Every structure is written in structure tokens, then in C-alpha cells.
Amino acid sequence: MLYPLPVVMVSSADKEGNSNIFTACWAGTVCTNPPMVSVSIRKERHSYQMIEETKEFVINLATEELAFATDYCGVKSGRDVDKFKEMKLTKLDGVNTNAPMIGESPVNIECKVREIIKLGSHDMFVADVVAVHASKEYMNEKGKFELHRSKPIVYSHGEYYGVGNLLGTFGYSVRKDKPKKKK
């Protein structure tokens, strides 16, 4: 019942260069220093063997604009279709990995697998973040990435949702109002 979850598209390639995309909701931050993430993958998934073999993948942020492609990449198998081609997604070369990135995604996180933890229905791929690419379109004048402008989506019990409105910023519950200046 830990819902909603961020939904991402994970792209990978095998040693021959055959690529695939799958949709994942069981992905997240593991550590800040060093930067690490995890993604849990069922062994039956076409990408499982690709990532196990190459130890590389890219987490691509899913957005409202990419919702249809995100769903498609979660229900169609890369054994049967080329998801980049079918969804007209731009395949970009990874900078620090041989895994492709999705050009339409506002954030691409290149990863190298550190450890595969065998669990049960899924195995957890714990990975080092080796590069983060963020679309300049969503950068403000101070160089900060404004995630909300990219309209990320989340997943809850078979349904996709937009993220919604900003409710506060870190520490707002304890922040003291700044004194007003006298005229």
C-alpha cells in the first residue's frame, strides 16, 4: 500500500546493441553519496537479461506527455516489438553507458549495476548513478531543475496520475516568517 509510486521508463541494450524499454514503478533513490538508485525487475522481463549481461541501464523520467508510451512500454514485450520505433521515441546514445536514453524524457539517469539482490518475484538491481541529463527546457535562471514543469506522473493500483500542486518546500513547517521591513 505504498502508493502512489513514481513511474519511469528504463532503457537498456544487450551486447549486440539490441535495445528495449520497460516501465517500472519499483525504482528509487538508494543513496546520495555515492549517488545510487535501484530498480526491481521480474526475471521474465525481456530487459532483465540485457541488464544482467551488460550491467547498465538508464532511468528515464515519465511525464504526462509520455503517459501513453509509458503504458505501452509496460504492456508490450520487447521480444515482439521495437518500442522506440512503435512509440516514435528518440533513441539517444548514452554518454557514460552503452544503454540508450529516451530523448523525449526530461531526465535521463545513466546507471551501472553494483549488485543484483535476488529476492522473489523481482530481483533488485542496485546501481551507481554515473550521469544525470536534465533538459535545459526545465532549468530556471539559477540553474535549478524545475521538476514540476515537466509534469511527472505517478502510478497507483493500475492507474496513472499527474503529480499535482506544490504543497510546500522542505522545512516549511518549522520556518519562521521573515520580519517585514519598515518603510
Task: Given CATH 2.30.110.10, say whether it is the number of domain 5-162.
Answer: yes
175 or 91, which is more confident: 91
pTM assigned to the model: 0.92
pLDDT single digits (tens) 79-93: 999 999 999 999 999
- Residue 61 has a CB neighbour count (10 Å cut-off) of 23
Give the mean pLDDT of 98-116.
98
Residue 179 has pLDDT above 60, yes or no: no
Instruction: Please spell the DSSP secondary structure of 55-91, one letter per residue.
Output: -EEEEEE-BGGGHHHHHHHHHS-TTT--HHHHTT--E
Q: Where in the chain are the domains?
A: 5-162
Cα–Cα distance measured from residue 151 to residue 172, given in angstroms and rounded to the nearest whole number? 23
